[in-house]
Amino acid sequence: MCGIAGQLNLDGRNVSPAARASAAAMCDALYHRGPDDAGLIASGPLVMGMRRLAIIDLAGGKQPISNEDGSVSVVCNGEIYNYRELAARLRARGHLFRTGSDVEVLVHLYEEHGVDFVRYLRGMFAFALWDQRSRRLVLGRDRLGIKPLHFAVEGRRLMFASELKGLIAGGVKRELNFEALHHYLTLSYVPAPHTIYAGVQKLLPGHVLVAEAGRVRLERYWRLEQVPGRDDVPVGEYVEGLRSLLADAVKSHLVSDVPIGVFLSGGLDSASVLALMRQQVTGPIKTFSVGFAETSFNELARARATATRFGTEHHDMVLPSSVTDVVPTLIETFDEPFADSSAVPLYYLSRFAREHVKVVLSGEGGDEVFGGYETYVADKLARWYRALPGMLSRSLIPNLVGRLPVSHRRVSFDYKAKRFVQGALRSPVGAHLSWKEIFSDEAKAELYADAAGGLPSTGEFYANTAAGCGSSDWLARCLHLDTQIGLPDDMLTKVDRVTMAHGLEARVPLLDHPLVEFMANVPSELKLRGFRKKYLLKRAMQNRLPRNVLRGPKRGFNVPMPRWLARDLQEFVRDTLSPERIAANGVFRPETVTRLIDEHTRQERDHSRSLWALIVLEHWMRAQNAPTATEVTATDANTEHEQVSLSQKA
């Protein structure tokens, strides 16, 4: 696991000493991702380097790594789980290996297959590979977007880095991207390819960037086809197929020269990972959980019971009720506004786990792969709701739901019911977005100090993404949206940044791509059977997990944010979002923000997600010394920067 960064002169000029120093500074900004070692290489117009977290071949796996004659070099963030099989094939073809590192297979695979070598990799990765003879730079990112990679083209210079802070250290322009801000207010994160800075992009999952002969192009090397399979295949065949792939996925993710632990929430996904790991590991396994003082949010008892069932060395902690001190740290961790509140407990848990292990397995991705979100049930109900007479769906039921008292307990019934009636009559894609959105387009119009004309709505962004799904099946389309947007840009971003902030590697075996491809072709009825979520996974893990895990409600790192913001953190909220601060930024209407605070404090509405998104944004703008609205104009990445467009090559 590492952080990588570099610069390429697209005009072919050799890099200067100043550029080398700049690239070194970019790598230094990523120290937290790799505190064990550093490396830098300069070759003609390129300089690139890395910070290393040593996991495999601790002594010999230093990077950059080159081929036999030094003509091909690579730096890589992540793990290649099938490197041993690949290395054996390459040795049989005459390639010489100098290390036992998984990264070394990249240079030899490239020699054999050119840019297409990435299709042979199984793992989580973001890499930069330099072909000195062809003067070609290849940047690549894994299929699901587990590992991050950002890039920018300024003038005739291409810069890349694992995190935005690496690009900032290299001097990238920090110009606010209003389209990204607009999407953030809807989603609580910035969706790819956007970043919060105009001219800086995220390399999309399953893509490579190739820079040669002064030009830059993007190519897609992998596409997940959500096409549910045949209903006439016996369920038992799907169950056995899934069991085999689950066992293989976890086994492959155990390759390491250091001990591996498990993040354990007490829910189905992490418990499944632990159960499968226990089949492979006879020795001690360390597990880690986090809980809350608020009983409705505390899942420690369930996690402890699962840990006891599998005989682990369990460690858990209770989160403090005041988390204001960690907000500036989280801003620095994510580099751009990121308001998924579950990052808070995960930050504390990662710091806690790093005291014991260097690598953890996580159940992340299970909801998107197996069909585990409550929103899928809401999507199914909405199809029926839209068939009701208009008086019921548009008047009677919304009026009754609107009278429900507001509760600040864990994802309360009133919250879910009100969310449902607000979005159920939209289009299927619009309804799916509505369960997730923080500020609707109407709410944003009321929030903005000035009209935000010309900015595409997040609904359009969702609809365009949904159009890329290869199936008309409604659940397949929802899974496609969540796999393409929410998974890489929210869930995996959260896990990567928060764990790497502590030099901790998180692996996600439920996102092993053969397993993901298999599940994409499973009939939807075996994912959501009636209202039973993750049906096939539960069948596969039957008799292997405690009954309360198999039948219990969805778990995870849910945060008691509604109560915190209304009580414990009320002073913090009012200070951070004071009318004076909001007016000074010039982006939002102070009176609208104050109304949200007042309604939430009086428990008239649950605005916790909206308020947290505004708190994070306010702290980010303050920390980044971002320009105010009067100093910036809404820009695309093609105004003063060279926009890289995606080619049709696949």
Q: Alpha-carbon distance 253 to 256, whole Å?
A: 8
Q: What is the largest CA-CA distance in the chain?
A: 76
CB neighbours (10 Å) of residue 611? 25
Whether 35 and 503 have beta carbons less than 8 Å apart is answered as yes
Q: Which residue has the tokens 């690009």?
A: 167
Nearest residue to 643 via CA among 152, 137, 259, 190: 152
Contacts for 472 with CB less than 8 Å, ≥ 6 apart: none
Which position among 2, 27, 76, 469 bears the catalytic label? Answer: 2
* CB-facing half-sphere around the CA of 46: CA atoms within 13 A: 29
Query: SS3 breakdown of the chain: % helix, strand, coil, rounded to 5?
Result: 45, 15, 40
2 catalytic residue (yes or no):
yes
Please, what is the end-to-end C-alpha distance for the chain in angstroms? 28
Edge to edge, the sheet with strand 46-52 lists: 37-43, 46-52, 2-9, 157-161, 150-154, 200-202
Question: What's the CA angle centered on 287, arms 353 and 550, to 5 degrees?
Answer: 135
Please provide the DSSP assignment of 162-199 as one string: SSHHHHHHTT----B-HHHHHHHHHHSSPPTT--SBTT
Q: Order of strands, edge to edge, in the sheet holding 286-292?
A: 313-319, 286-292, 260-263, 359-361, 505-507
The beta strands (E) that lie in 264-353 are given as 286-292, 313-319
How far apart are the C-alpha atoms of 297 and 62, rounded to whole Å?
A: 43
Which are the contacts of 236, defined by CB distance < 8 A and separation ≥ 6?
A: none
User: Beta strand 260-263 with 286-292: parallel, antiparallel or unpaired?
Assistant: parallel
Element (H, E) at 262: strand 260-263
Q: Within a 10 A sphere around the Cβ of 340, how many other Cβ atoms?
A: 24
Point out which residues pair with 80 in neighbouring strands: 123
Q: Reduce the DSSP state of residue 61 to 3 states and report it.
A: coil
| The residue to which tokens 């690598």 are assigned | 359
On the CB side of 58, CA atoms within 13 Å amount to 8
β-strand pairing of 46-52 with 2-9: antiparallel
How far from chain centre, in Å, is Cα 232? 35
Report cis status (omega within 30 of 0) of the bond before 590.
Answer: no
In angstroms, the CA 62 to CA 73 distance is 12
Q: Is 215 exposed, middle or buried (0-12, 13-18, 19+ CB in 10 A)?
A: exposed
**Contacts with 379 (C-beta within 8 Å, 6 or more apart), sequence order:** 428, 431, 432, 435, 474, 475, 478
Q: Which amino acid is at 13?
A: R
Distance CA 280, CA 247 (A): 9
CA distances from 527 to 290, 399, 442, 509, 524 (A): 28, 33, 34, 19, 5
Q: Give catalytic residues, as residue numbers.
A: 2
